[in-house]
Structure 1
Amino acid sequence: MPSFHNGRVEIAYLDEGEGEPIVLVHGFASNKNVNWVYPSWVAELQRSGRRVIAFDNRGHGESSKLYDPEDYHLGTMAGDLRALMDHLALPRADVMGYSMGARITAFLARSHPERVRSAIFGGLGIGLVKGGGPGENVVSALQAASLDDVTDPVGRTFRAFAEQTRSDRAALAACLRGSRRLMSVEEAAGIAVPVLIAVGTTDDIAGSAHELQQIIPGSEVLDIPRRDHMRAVGDRVYKDGVLAFLSRRP
């Protein structure tokens, strides 16, 4: 698996296919394979004529593990995304993130709109600017001696997922504490690239997609019926909606 260094941090990535590039940014406690390869996103996008780039965020997958929350600010993680694009000589690309990956995508779209042809926020609605996302209950769950010791339902979900993905739980706890910053309403309203907000209709982590749509000018909503935060990722409605959105980009 190829990798590159952004400063002292090694970032593992994949780069497959030919055509217009799209960069995929996975969610918290996931990795490029679990979020994008296994649910067939990479294959689907390649079949649609796309060059597909996906990477492991710092603290995840095959990338460097760091244990200081200060190393996981969203601007820093968005910097990894931009550094990968620089490494691959991509001046501009469509970018799709899921959950935490959507937060990272939003920060890049806000700070460097010239690099983002369009942005897709999967599994993230109004939680971008208020509430939403895992909290200290998930940190406690990650640090518990075993899953049996975790009683909080959201904490159990993320602890079980972290175990399933064989993640470094200490790195994840640091990531969660460092990446919590919310975007202000004014910052979100300043996102000036085409945006698709794709959220499961039973997702109680992302927050309302329609509320966020009211803030980001010209944004579109894709409701993913009867899917929660974990099960929306590989949904057919999600995939078809994203492909349709991308096909409309000039």
Structure 2
Amino acid sequence: MSDIRRETITAPDGTRIAVHRMGEGRPVLLFHGLFSSAEMNWIKFGHAALLAENGFECIMPDWRVHGESDGPTDAALYAPGVLVRDALHIVETLGLEDYDLVGFSLGARTATSAVIAGLKPRRLVLGGMGIEGLSNWQARSAFFVDMIDRFDTIERGDPAFLAKSFMKGQGIDPVAARLLLTQGVEDIAMEDLAKITMPTLVLIGDEDRDNGSPEKLRDALPDATMAVVPGNHMGSVTKKDMGRAILDFLS
């Protein structure tokens, strides 16, 4: 496996964002999902290594609150759209101009907002996402906010037990996570999807409808196709099929 290079980018508000890089060649930005990390989403199951072996440089930030990045607990550091601003800052700081962009779940949502806000990747992959997951964030995040509020009382058998266990295992600060969920993420206007004009792949697990309809998302985008890989929302990222589908589309 290619060596992983790590660096830190400091956001304008002082939050330190860890960025993991693997391979040399065409840059591809990889945005991970909620309560995950670059390590869990892209490195552990070999997706980054596959891309690196095939001529790509994987650039994988940990969102604030996640992985090796800071998780500040100052509410002032979580204005709506904070992850999008972090994404734009990363691209600007690294001087990326000709690159591809891949996001999974929250990462796909953030990639969508970032393209609407001005990022111009050559190709875009939206993994684990349906059209309903782009709007009505309050309803989608309510499950996780409730889980955080009941964190110490959730036991096995509770619908929130798996999410609690994953979040705890990833070392996520519940206070910072709650601020991000309730303040930092904004809804996406459906009419703005027309701004996403680059070739786009909607990539979904065959048992994954956690974020709504991928077919409707594909149909709402100007130049999109869809690929189906095995697995549910949590499981699809653990299978090599996801990395191969990303590589096929970017190649």
- TM-score normalised over the length of structure 1: 0.89
- What is the rounded CA distance, in whole Å, between the counterparts of 1:171 and 1:141 in structure 2? 14
Pairing of 1:10-21 with structure 2 (within 5 A):
10-21=16-27
**Distance apart, 1:89 and its partner CA:** 1.9
1:201 alignment counterpart: 206
Match status 1:59 vs 2:65: yes
Three-state SS of the structure 1 residue aligned to 2:123 is strand
CA distance change for structure 1 residues 145 and 50 in 2, over 3 Å: closer, same or farther?
closer
1:69–1:177 Cα contact (<8 Å) kept: no
**Pick aligned residue for 2:176 from 157, 160, 171:** 171
Three-state SS of the structure 1 residue aligned to 2:211 is coil
**Pick aligned residue for 1:214 from 219, 226, 236:** 219
2:204–2:227 Cα contact (<8 Å) kept: yes
Select between 82-91 and 205-214 the one with higher mean Cα deviation: 82-91
- What is the rounded CA distance, in whole Å, between the counterparts of 2:21 and 2:162 in structure 1? 30
- What is the rounded CA distance, in whole Å, between the counterparts of 1:241 and 1:19 in structure 2? 19
Match status 1:88 vs 2:105: no
CA distance change for structure 1 residues 191 and 128 in 2, over 3 Å: closer, same or farther?
farther
1:27 alignment counterpart: 33
> % of aligned pairs identical?
27
- What is the rounded CA distance, in whole Å, between the counterparts of 1:103 and 1:71 in structure 2? 20
**Distance apart, 1:246 and its partner CA:** 0.4
Pairing of 1:1-250 with structure 2 (within 5 A):
1-7=6-12, 8-67=14-73, 71-72=77-78, 75-113=81-119, 115-131=120-136, 134-146=140-152, 148-149=154-155, 152-153=158-159, 155-225=160-230, 227-247=231-251
- What is the rounded CA distance, in whole Å, between the counterparts of 2:201 and 2:150 in structure 1? 37
Q: CA RMSD in A?
A: 2.1
CA distance change for structure 1 residues 13 and 187 in 2, over 3 Å: closer, same or farther?
same
1:147–1:159 Cα contact (<8 Å) kept: no
**Unpaired segments ≥5 residues, structure 2:** 1-5
**Distance apart, 1:180 and its partner CA:** 4.2
- What is the rounded CA distance, in whole Å, between the counterparts of 1:238 and 1:175 in structure 2? 27
CA distance change for structure 1 residues 14 and 243 in 2, over 3 Å: closer, same or farther?
same
Three-state SS of the structure 2 residue aligned to 1:2 is strand
- What is the rounded CA distance, in whole Å, between the counterparts of 1:214 and 1:70 in structure 2? 37
- What is the rounded CA distance, in whole Å, between the counterparts of 2:80 and 2:244 in structure 1? 29
**Distance apart, 1:210 and its partner CA:** 0.5
CA distance change for structure 1 residues 70 and 102 in 2, over 3 Å: closer, same or farther?
farther
Select between 130-139 and 22-31 the one with higher mean Cα deviation: 130-139
2:229–2:242 Cα contact (<8 Å) kept: yes
- TM-score normalised over the length of structure 2: 0.89
- What is the rounded CA distance, in whole Å, between the counterparts of 1:119 and 1:68 in structure 2? 33
**Unpaired segments ≥5 residues, structure 1:** none
Alignment length, in residue pairs?
A: 244
1:118–1:193 Cα contact (<8 Å) kept: yes
1:26–1:97 Cα contact (<8 Å) kept: yes
CA distance change for structure 1 residues 236 and 79 in 2, over 3 Å: closer, same or farther?
same
Three-state SS of the structure 1 residue aligned to 2:52 is helix
- What is the rounded CA distance, in whole Å, between the counterparts of 1:195 and 1:72 in structure 2? 29
